[in-house]
């Protein structure tokens, strides 16, 4: 097992002229919002429309499976993006890398809204979709690590859980915005308009988020811990070599610990939407609204769990969230399959705001403090992107396949949910601890 990083020493306070912590957190949260706006919008549209627009098939579930396969392609590029941008983030600094990754993700989202349908240009349409997803995946691979580290490295150790959990609000916000737009379009427009052309509007509107985020990030100062490291000439020539040479145990365990957080998040809103609309044959409006309510609730629970992790420790909060979601798996689908709006909303709130919120609120400070500043960007990016690929990237594909294997019933899917929750809780329990002790 790797030795943990000493957490007793507080990071240097920002010097005069450096960006205030509040602005750093805001800029990082906005980047996370753009990141998850893109991936949530794609996942939601894949569940509702892409099987017809880009992957027409006789069986709706088969078309949905093909659409989720391209969703997974974006995740496959993320570990490579994490290595590439993690390397430059540890060598050249956090700020410039964050500007590049935001532009890569945002431009890709906008471009998807312009791709002609399969009926217009044939197989070129899904090929363009795959290519754009690859570019976005590379950008997303480097986005998370830098955004979190800017907030973490500006914060005193005893408040890092709260500061990074505020950055993580960008995740439910990045779900709230596109799902809200999809719901609004679905309700406001005539029947068939969303499927025909209006699904493109949320992709095109992403240009607003990109412009605001780009402007804010241009005016940030570099992370004080990176500035100190560079001044002391401690920058590593090949950060990834040191990472895997000295910290491989924590890399492997943190990847396993990440799987349930990312995977179950996608089950709650991606697979559940597909289940309700394709298998139960219910209208999409109520389940989308339930997701909206749950994501809004998570915007408030994330900082609560982040602050709690500052007081009682990162790992206890993280493990409790994983175990809670293992227990929730069966009740979640029992509630959802009723088709009742109130019960579906309760299920979504428990899954997203409580289960996912507790893990995600503690996660960044737990994982980032496993690595010294010289390799922290690379280490956190590898953990996040490989874990998210095996968890969140596979979950829609695996979940839909397990629903198909079960004849549309969720038995096998629930077994998968419980399995990854238990794996992640055990892995988190064995991590070397960089957490603050109360």
Q: What is the pLDDT of residue 10?
A: 45
Q: What is the pLDDT of residue 348?
A: 95
Average pLDDT over every residue of 400-420: 87
How many other C-beta atoms can be found within 10 angstroms of the C-beta atom of residue 281? Answer: 8
Q: What is the pLDDT of residue 64?
A: 66
Q: What is the pLDDT of residue 124?
A: 87
Residue with tokens 């499976």: 65
Question: What are the pLDDT digits (tens) for 349-368?
Answer: 999 999 999 999 999 999 99
How many other C-beta atoms can be found within 10 angstroms of the C-beta atom of residue 175? Answer: 29
Q: What is the pLDDT of residue 59?
A: 56
How many other C-beta atoms can be found within 10 angstroms of the C-beta atom of residue 18? Answer: 17
CA dihedral 132, 401, 199, 292 (to 10 degrees): -110
What is the fold, at CATH topology level, of the domain defined by 21-233+240-429? Growth Hormone; Chain: A; (1.20.1250)
Residue 434 has pLDDT above 70, yes or no: no
Question: What are the pLDDT digits (tens) for 274-295?
Answer: 888 887 888 877 888 898 899 8
pLDDT band at 264 (very low <50, low <70, confident <90, very high): very high
Q: How many CA atoms lie within 13 A of 211 on its CB side?
A: 6
Question: What are the pLDDT digits (tens) for 190-239?
Answer: 888 888 889 899 999 888 888 887 888 887 888 888 888 888 877 788 88
pLDDT band at 18 (very low <50, low <70, confident <90, very high): low
Task: Give CA 144 to chain center in angstroms.
Answer: 8
Question: What are the pLDDT digits (tens) for 171-192?
Answer: 888 878 887 888 788 788 888 8
Q: What is the pLDDT of residue 349?
A: 96
Residue 106 · residue 259 · CB < 8 Å: no
Residue of higher predicted confidence among 314 and 62? 314
Mean pLDDT of the chain: 84
pLDDT band at 68 (very low <50, low <70, confident <90, very high): low
Residue of higher predicted confidence among 57 and 114? 114
Residue 9 has pLDDT above 50, yes or no: no
Residue 254 has pLDDT above 50, yes or no: yes
User: What's the chain's length in residues?
Assistant: 438
Question: What are the pLDDT digits (tens) for 379-392?
Answer: 999 998 899 889 98
**Domains of the chain: which residue ranges?**
21-233+240-429
Average pLDDT over every residue of 294-321: 95
């Amino acid at each position: 097992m790797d030795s943990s990083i000493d957490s007793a020493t507080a990071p240097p306070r920002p010097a005069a002229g450096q960006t205030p912590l509040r602005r750093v957190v805001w800029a990082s949260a906005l980047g996370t919002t753009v990141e998850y706006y893109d991936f949530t919008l794609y996942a939601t549209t894949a569940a509702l429309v892409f099987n017809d627009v880009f992957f027409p098939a006789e069986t709706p579930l088969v078309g949905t499976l093909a659409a989720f396969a391209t969703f997974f392609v974006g995740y496959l590029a993320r570990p490579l993006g994490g290595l590439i941008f993690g390397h430059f983030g540890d060598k050249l600094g956090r700020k410039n890398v964050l500007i590049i990754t935001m532009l890569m993700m945002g431009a890709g989202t906008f471009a998807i809204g312009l791709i002609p349908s399969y009926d217009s240009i044939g197989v070129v349409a899904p090929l363009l979709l795959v290519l754009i997803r690859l570019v976005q995946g590379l950008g997303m691979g480097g986005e998370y690590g830098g955004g979190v580290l800017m907030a973490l490295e500006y914060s005193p150790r005893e408040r890092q859980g709260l500061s990074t959990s505020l950055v993580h609000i960008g995740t439910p916000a990045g779900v709230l915005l596109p799902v809200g737009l999809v719901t609004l379009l679905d309700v406001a427009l005539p029947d068939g308009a969303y499927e025909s052309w209006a699904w493109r509007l949320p992709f095109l509107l992403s240009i607003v988020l990109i412009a605001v985020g780009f402007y804010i990030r241009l005016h940030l100062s570099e992370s004080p811990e990176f500035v100190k490291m560079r001044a002391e000439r401690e920058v590593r020539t090949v950060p990834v070599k040191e990472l895997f040479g000295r910290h491989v145990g924590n890399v492997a365990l943190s990847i396993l610990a990440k799987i349930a957080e990312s995977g179950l998040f996608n089950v709650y809103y991606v697979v559940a939407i597909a289940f309700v609309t394709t298998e139960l044959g219910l209208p999409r409006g109520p389940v989308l609204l339930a997701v909206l309510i749950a994501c809004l609730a998570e915007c408030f629970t994330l900082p609560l769990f982040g602050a709690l992790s500052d007081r009682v420790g990162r790992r206890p909060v993280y493990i409790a969230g994983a175990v809670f979601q293992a227990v929730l798996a069966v009740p979640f689908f029992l509630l959802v399959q009723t088709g009742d709006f109130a019960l579906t909303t309760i299920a979504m709130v428990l899954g997203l705001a409580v289960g996912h919120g507790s893990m995600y609120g503690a996660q960044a400070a737990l994982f980032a403090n496993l690595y010294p500043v010289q390799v922290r960007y690379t280490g956190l990016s590898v953990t996040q992107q490989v874990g998210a690929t095996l968890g969140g990237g596979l979950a829609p594909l695996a979940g839909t396949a397990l629903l198909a294997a079960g004849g549309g019933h969720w038995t096998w899917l629930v077994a998968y949910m419980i399995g990854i929750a238990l794996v992640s809780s055990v892995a988190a329990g064995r991590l070397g601890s960089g957490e603050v002790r109360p």
